[in-house]
Amino acid sequence: MTARVGTTGLVFEEPLIWERSRSGRTGFSMPRRDVPEAPLPPGLEGEAPDLPELTEVDVVRHFTRLSQWNVSVDTTTYPLGSCTMKYNPRLHEAVVALEGLRTAHPLLPPALAQGPLRILWETERFLAEITGMDAVSLQPAAGAQGELTGILVIRAFLARRGERRTKILVPDTAHGTNPASAALCGLRPVPVASGPGGVLEPAAVEAVMDEDVAGIMVTNPNTLGLFEENLKEVAEIVHEKGGLVYCDGANLNALMGVVRMGDLGVDAMHLNLHKTFSAPHGGGGPGSGPLCVRAPLEPFLPVPRIVERPDGSLDLDHDRPLSVGRVHAFYGNFGVIVRAWAYIRSMGAEGLRRASELAVLNANYVKERLKDVLHLPYDRPCLHECVFTDRNQIPRKVTALDIAKRLIDYGYHPPTIYFPLVVRGALMIEPTETESKADLDGFIEALRAIAAEAEAEPQLLHDAPVQAKRRRLDEAAAARSPCLTG
């Protein structure tokens, strides 16, 4: 039970129970029977299953109430770093719900699926243009699966050349999924320390690059929100020794229409459509992590490939002997891809560029307006996100976790904390381009107020959140042994 003040000012107790079943309730009505009653076939008689008994209104109220307890992009600023929680225009929902798209069966022969195939084909072409790469596979269902597919493709390419390299370079500012993806492909990640400016130094790469290294996985912008300005030089060093350059492009929200990784020497990269290209995400919902490659890697992409026949029709090509195989059923998460297509079509080249410019402007605005109260480890222009630490608050025994939890009381989703790992006590803020200046100011004022509280009344932060439905949770236990009903 938790005490709540209702809109009338009355305090009432609200039961925090999930189990709302009451014996005898029912949420459906069957038409009157107009055939004779018949016994159940053998094997089906016996006890009825123990299902919840609820009326329709019980169910609607339960789920509506739960949705209102939830924090979402549709209710507040959601500056979760590295996740690009931007607003998703409703237009894309209308497009994906068009009957011809919603009802298209994935097993339709290509001749009867020209519309959906055209959308997939165009999305591949758009993404190739945006990244400066030659070919795209839309199959991977997430960023991490895009990485895995990319490294499988690189490994197959090297094997075809008769090489079995065993290592891969991964800078300390890469996303955590990078070394995991490489390791899953049997490559041993070799860490490379970033320089004092927070970016890769060519000399550090030169020192570890040899003929046993398959390549490098660079997150750009990196997890400090900084542009890897030496990437072109780094790519030359890696290519010189026969390696390939993989770019984790999950955070393209800073770069769309501004710089193309293909022009910087990148051989393969993935994008996160569910971040940059405006598909709702969170809670592990469906995503899409297309893999974009240069022409020499194209034969190794997953099958089937969408190909244009001389008469202009589209077809599926399964005859790719060098392919690494399928990584997803059919063509990937079609609904997510359609939303990305609608986003790209409605924004246009100019609009995409403007979105990235505003995302970068907003992050720099937040950085400049908070750096006198929160410690900024790398005081230089950032891209789509800025990384602070809790160093100024630690003497008052206030940590990044306390600051994040207190933000909930102010009505905001917390930023990412304790990531990237290269910064102690990190608070990683990604405002995105869809926040207005007024909304950013509200968020900044909340963090400034929290910094003042940390000085004057640190206990407030230790106790936070007090306005939320739940206080601090054991998040590890919640993930490992979830209790879904009570």
Distance CA 327, CA 125 (A): 20
Minimum Å gap between C-beta 137 and ligand PLP is: 15
> Following DSSP, what letter does each residue of 198-260 receive, concatenated?
SS--HHHHHHH--TTEEEEEEESS-TTS---TTHHHHHHHHHHTT-EEEEEETTGGGTTTT--
Closest CA to 113 of 124, 104, 102, 122: 104
> Which residue number, 335 or 398, has a Cβ lying nearer to ligand PLP?
335
> Which residue number, 142 or 213, has a Cβ lying nearer to ligand PLP?
142
Minimum Å gap between C-beta 281 and ligand PLP is: 8
Q: Which residues contact 49 (CB under 8 A, 6 or more apart)?
A: none
* Token representation of residue 173: 């500012």
Minimum Å gap between C-beta 178 and ligand PLP is: 7
Distance CA 117, CA 33 (A): 46
> Which residue number, 219 or 399, has a Cβ lying nearer to ligand PLP?
219
Q: Which residues contact 117 (CB under 8 A, 6 or more apart)?
A: 110, 306, 314, 315, 316
Amino acid at 61: R
Minimum Å gap between C-beta 135 and ligand PLP is: 21
> Which residue number, 140 or 314, has a Cβ lying nearer to ligand PLP?
140
Minimum Å gap between C-beta 414 and ligand PLP is: 17
> Which residue number, 272 or 362, has a Cβ lying nearer to ligand PLP?
272
> Which residue number, 116 or 143, has a Cβ lying nearer to ligand PLP?
143
Checking DSSP bridges between strand 244-249 and strand 386-389, what pairing results, if any? unpaired
- Contact footprint for ligand PLP (CB under 6 A): 82, 142-144, 175, 177, 219, 248, 250-251, 272, 287, 289
Checking DSSP bridges between strand 244-249 and strand 11-14, what pairing results, if any? unpaired
Minimum Å gap between C-beta 179 and ligand PLP is: 11
> Which residue number, 100 or 283, has a Cβ lying nearer to ligand PLP?
283
Is residue 324 within 8 A of residue 139, CB to CB? The reply is no
Minimum Å gap between C-beta 205 and ligand PLP is: 19
Closest CA to 466 of 410, 417, 413, 409: 409
Minimum Å gap between C-beta 186 and ligand PLP is: 20
Distance CA 66, CA 347 (A): 34
DSSP type of residue 105: -
> Which residue number, 175 or 339, has a Cβ lying nearer to ligand PLP?
175
Distance CA 298, CA 290 (A): 13
Minimum Å gap between C-beta 194 and ligand PLP is: 15
With CB atoms as reference, the residue minimizing the distance to ligand PLP is: 143
Q: Phi/psi class of residue 96: alpha, beta or left (left: φ > 0; alpha: ψ in -120 to 50)?
A: alpha
> Which residue number, 144 or 185, has a Cβ lying nearer to ligand PLP?
144
Rg (CA), the chain: 26
